[in-house]
Amino acid sequence: MSAPETPMLELRGVRKAFGDKVVLDGVDIPVARGRSLVIIGGSGQGKSVTIKIAIGLMAPDAGQVFVDGQDTSQIRSAADRAAHNARFGMLFQGAALFDSLTIWENVAFRLINADKVPRKEARERAVEALSRVGLPASVANLYPIELSGGMQKRAGLARAVVAAPQIIFFDEPTTGLDPINADVINDLIVEQVKRLGCTAVSITHDMASARKIGDEIAMLHKGRIVWRGPAADIDRSGNAYVDQFVNGRADGPIKVEV
């Protein structure tokens, strides 16, 4: 019998509190290499905190984060940290494009500033990445403010994938988009993740998006994973929390706190 494969990303016993409010209460999330996990859950249930801890933007109060078997808390030197960060890509909820830079400079940011790729080559790669997400070369010299929300998301996706990361995080990728643009972004995410063969972790409360981009879905509620299973099983989970969330019912075990 072969040994179980080391997860590409694993949160083990992660706990995080802000003052008295416990946001994550011992969360365990292993994600296998090349798989796409979507974490769903209501607002304020710790989805964003989970992703921030996974990517190293926030330190957990307790627990560990492993990337390809390596405990990230043991990374000490700046060079090792930079090499570690180079494995990640992230599409932010609001795209988080740098508004003082043009679109191509945004997309090529890591190539120019971290990987020291010559500007000419970086520009070519940025334009190529833009074309992969359906943006014409003519937008390369525009500034983020000149693009619509959907186009900004596409540019953010191009920035996330241009350096071929091993793990990509998607933070509410369809929030703020109309259903058609949201579906386009979902398709692009699936396409890019498949092309790169990378591991993906997304957080969303958009069920259409979760069904489309996830191989697996996990539900986070009150700081714990209350259900996890194949995306195809989401409608027959047998879990009261998942059923209420997926069907968008006010009645059920999840009480909206006001």
Partner 1 sequence: MNPVQAVGRSTLGLLRTAGSVAIFAGRGVAASVSAPWFGGQMARQVVAIGYLSLPVVGLTAVFTGAALALNIYTGGGRFNAEQIMPQIVALGITRELGPVLAALMLAGRVSAAIAAEIGAMRATEQIDALHTLSTDPFRYLVAPRLIAAVLTLPLLTAVADTIGVAGGFLVATQTLGFSGPLYVQNTWNFLTSWDIQSGLIKAAVFGFIVALMGAYHGYNASGGARGVGRATTHAVVSAAILVFAADYILTSLFTAK
Applying CB under 8 A, which residues contact partner 1?
Answer: 52, 55-57, 78, 82, 85-86, 88-90, 92-94, 96-99, 109-110, 113-115, 159, 169
DSSP 58-117: S--SEEEEEETTEEGGG--SHHHHHHHHTTEEEE-TT----TTS-HHHHHTHHHHHTS--
| Residue with Cβ nearer partner 1 (89 or 214) | 89
H or E segment to which residue 245 belongs: helix 240-247
Q: How far is the CB of 168 from partner 1 (least distance, A)?
A: 10
| Smallest distance, partner 1 to C-beta of residue 204, A | 16
Nearer to partner 1 by Cβ, of 94 and 253: the residue is 94
Cβ nearer to partner 1, comparing 163 with 226: 163
Closest approach of partner 1 to the CB of residue 100, in Å:
8
Q: Which is nearer to partner 1, 107 or 219 (CB)?
A: 107
Which amino acid is present at 58?
M
Q: Are 34 and 197 in contact (CB under 8 A)?
A: yes
Nearest CA among 203, 215, 141, 216 for reference residue 175 = 203
The DSSP output letter for 203 is E
Q: CA Rg, the chain, in Å? A: 19
d(CA 117, CA 109): 10
Nearer to partner 1, 104 or 169 (CB): 169
Residue type present at position 106: N
CA distance 76 to 53: 17
In the complex, least distance from residue 57 CB atom to partner 1, rounded to whole angstroms = 5
Taking the complex as a whole, the smallest distance from the CB of residue 116 to partner 1 amounts, in Å, to 9
Nearer to partner 1, 41 or 165 (CB): 165
Minimum Å gap between C-beta 114 and partner 1 is 4
